[in-house]
Amino acid sequence: MTRAQVRQAVLDALITIVPEARPAEIKPAVALREQLDIDSMDFMNFVMALDETLGVDVPEAEYGRLSTLDACVDYLGGRLGIGAEPS
Partner 1 sequence: MGEFRMPALGADMVAGTLTEWYKHPGESVRRGDIIAAVDTDKGSIDIEVFEDGVVERVVVAEGQKVPVGTLLAVIRRVGETAPSPPVTPQPTVIPAAPPSPAAPVAPAAPSAPTQRPRVSPLARRLAAELGVDLAGITGSGAGGAIVQEDVEAAAPSGGDRQGRMRRAIAAAMARSKREIPHFYLATTIDFALASGWLAQWNAERKPAERLLPAVLLLKATALALLEFPELNARWENERVQPAEGIHIGVATSLRGGGLVVPALHHVNRKRLPPLMLELRDVVQRARTGNLRSSDLADGTITVTSLGERSADLVLGVIYPPQTAIVGFGSVVERPWVVGGVVAPRPVLMASLAADHRASDGHRGAAFLATIDRLLQSPEAL
Find the part of the chain contacting partner 1 (CB under 8 A) among 36-44, 64-72, 76-84.
Answer: 36-44
40/47 Cα distance (integer angstroms): 10
Q: Which of 45, 71, 78, 80 binds partner 1 (CB under 8 A)?
A: 45
Contact by Cβ (8 Å): 42, 32:
no
Angle ∠(10,59,86) on CA atoms, nearest 5: 45
Find the part of the chain contacting partner 1 (CB under 8 A) among 13-21, 64-72, 74-82.
Answer: 13-21
- Is the Cβ of residue 41 or residue 83 nearer to partner 1 in the bound state? 41
